[in-house]
Amino acid sequence: MSEKHLKAGDPLPPYSGKLRLFAMRFCPYAERSILVLNAKKVEYDLVHIDLDNKPEWIFSFNPKGTVPIFEYEEGKAIFDSAIINAYLDEKYPEPPLQSSDPLQRAQDKIVAELLSSAHSAYYTAAFNAQALTPESTPTYHRGLEVLQKEIEARGTKFLAGDKPGLVDYTIWPYLERFLALPLLGKPEFAITEEKYAALLTYIEAMKNDPPVKVYCLAPETHAKYIESRVKGTPDTNMLDTSDVCCFRPRKKKA
């Protein structure tokens, strides 16, 4: 798989006959759909897009020019990760990634929604640190605390049960990125063993899930990309095979 991001002037790659996902390597929303495709074990081609200098043809798939975009037939596509993932779970029902219980599906969506406050704090801390306010850190931790309580209350390895489900693949890309914040000089955003033992156990389980493991990036890699974007020179093509890995095992307490 090429990590090169196509830009303005680059031609649309020939259609191979496989399903195709247009993404950006550091986009958490695109990662959500990649994880679902991986979990479904569906064959697909992955095309990375330079969102700062978009190829002209991307707008024929999505007038907004955003990713992810899922090309289900040549020249025909749907976009937005929530729409794509709901479609994939219905189109490819094995393995099912959502509960058959409507109430449980609603509760899963609530969990993801409650974590969104932490998303906002993350983006400010990572990309616009001068805009941080005294409320930013508490807002971030409130989101994590709600998630940890839900993990503890459910009492299962993953939020969806013994195996990850759509709710897990929806929240994971942000948890993956949150771990980069201490490397960017933001120790107040650390997910520590003392405060988040259950959440860290969950993170360890998620990073070893095969659909996650083949695509996730180490905190150091996310930090390096964030630094390049903050400097005004986002290096979307920075990856090589050594970067495509998960996290080092965390040390256990003595």
**189-208 pLDDT per residue, tens:** 999 999 999 999 999 999 99
pLDDT value for 249: 35
Ordered structural domains, the chain, with CATH: 5-91 (3.40.30.10), 102-243 (1.20.1050.10)
**98 to 154, 170, 248: CA distances (angstroms):** 15, 12, 30
**117-143 pLDDT per residue, tens:** 999 999 999 999 999 999 999 999 999
CA–CA separation, 127 vs 124, rounded Å?
Answer: 6
* Token code pair at residue 144: 């994590």
Rg (CA), the chain: 18
| pTM, two decimal places | 0.92
113: confidence class by pLDDT, cuts 50, 70, 90 = very high
Are residues 35 and 215 in contact, defined by beta-carbon separation less than 8 angstroms?
yes
65: left (phi over 0), alpha (psi -120 to 50) or beta: left
**205-241 pLDDT per residue, tens:** 999 999 999 999 999 999 999 999 999 999 999 985 4
pLDDT value for 2: 63
184: confidence class by pLDDT, cuts 50, 70, 90 = very high
Q: Which of 27, 216, 245, 246 is catalytic?
A: 27
**40-60 pLDDT per residue, tens:** 999 999 999 999 999 999 999
**3-state DSSP assignment of residue 151:** helix
State in Å, rounded, how far the first CA of the chain is from the last one. Answer: 41
pLDDT value for 3: 76
Q: Tell me if residue 246 is catalytic.
A: no
